[in-house]
Structure 1
Amino acid sequence: MSIEKSYNGRCFCGAVEFTLSGEPAAMGYCHCESCRHWSAGPVNAFTLWKPEAVQVTRGAESIGTYNKTPRSYRKWCKQCGGHLFTEHPEMGLIDVYAAVISDLAYSPSVHVHYQETRLPIKDGLPKLKDVPSELGGSGISVDE
């Protein structure tokens, strides 16, 4: 009998809490302009999860949504403004920001949208022009 691992996350003020079940489908860094502006940082650390793995356990009524495009539904806490996750319906995945998961050992494996980087990171991980082909991108590698 195996016990499925779970992780806890919350917004900045704690009004919204959630649980993640299992393991993420992927972890990495996104360098796209949208993620940089949304996160107010030069790069965004992401974890991708199947929608059924993400369970809001407190404060669902405090979650706000903004979508600049139909590809990304960005979620935040309406109390503190803390970012939570982004639903990507076309990919069938939810990007839970690595920084809001309290007990996950973050282990990135890829950089996406690296041609847009404002903070070059020489860490030996694959650098992609957009996203992997299995997620609808070109899968084209770019130089570190």
Structure 2
Amino acid sequence: MNNSKTYNGSCFCGAVTFTLKHDPALMAYCHCESCRHWSAGPVNAFTLWPPEAVTITQGSDQIGSFNKTPETIRKWCKSCGGHLFIEHPAMGLIDVPASVIPEFNFQPALHVNYQETVLRMRDGLPKMKDLPQEAGGSGLQIDE
């Protein structure tokens, strides 16, 4: 992994821009109901970064937030509604949707919350029933 790499991302309209430094802690797919509703898609491709790797470079005053649960603080652009991040305070990580980092080479390691899937993905990656144990889940894998 290249620790000197910097990635640029933005919301849909470009009012909010940010940089990500180094490499993410994890890249994966989430199939939970919350992520599906938030992303308006059948699955969410996410990247997890330590907070110090994420820097807002423009439009911090345009960032809105919503807490559905204490575990997640969802951030979006107030101008266009484009999604930006999901803060996970208990994990100490920030989830940046892969789709808002155009030059990033998304290489997922696994699927989480696969028991809730509405779109089966037969890609050979591990399918976690919920979350890995180190993230507070059961750590159980299920079949594709």
TM-score range, shorter chain: over 0.9
Distance 2:109 2:77 in 1: 28
Q: Percent identity between the aligned chains?
A: 66
Q: Deviations over 1:4-31 (max 9, x none)?
A: 1110000000000000001000001000
Q: Deviations over 1:79-129 (max 9, x none)?
A: 000001100001111000000002111101100000000000000000001
Superposition pairs for residues 17-36 of structure 1, below 5 Å?
17-36=17-36
Aligned AA (2:31):
H
Tell me the equivalent position of 1:10: 10
Aligned AA (2:130):
D
Distance 1:31 1:52 in 2: 27
Structure 1 gap ranges (5+): none
Distance 1:123 1:79 in 2: 36
Superposition pairs for residues 34-49 of structure 1, below 5 Å?
34-49=34-49
Distance 1:137 1:25 in 2: 17
Kindly report the root-mean-square deviation, in angstroms, between the aligned alpha carbons of the 2 structures.
Answer: 1.0
Superposition pairs for residues 1-144 of structure 1, below 5 Å?
4-144=4-144
Q: Deviations over 1:58-97 (max 9, x none)?
A: 0000000001000000000000000011000011110000
TM-score by length of 1: 0.97
Aligned residues: 143
Distance 2:93 2:123 in 1: 26
SS at match of 1:120: coil
Give the ranges of 4+ consecutive aligned residues of structure 1 lying more than 4 Å apart after TM superposition. none
Decide whether the 8 Å contact of 1:12 with 1:82 is kept in 2: yes
Structure 2 gap ranges (5+): none
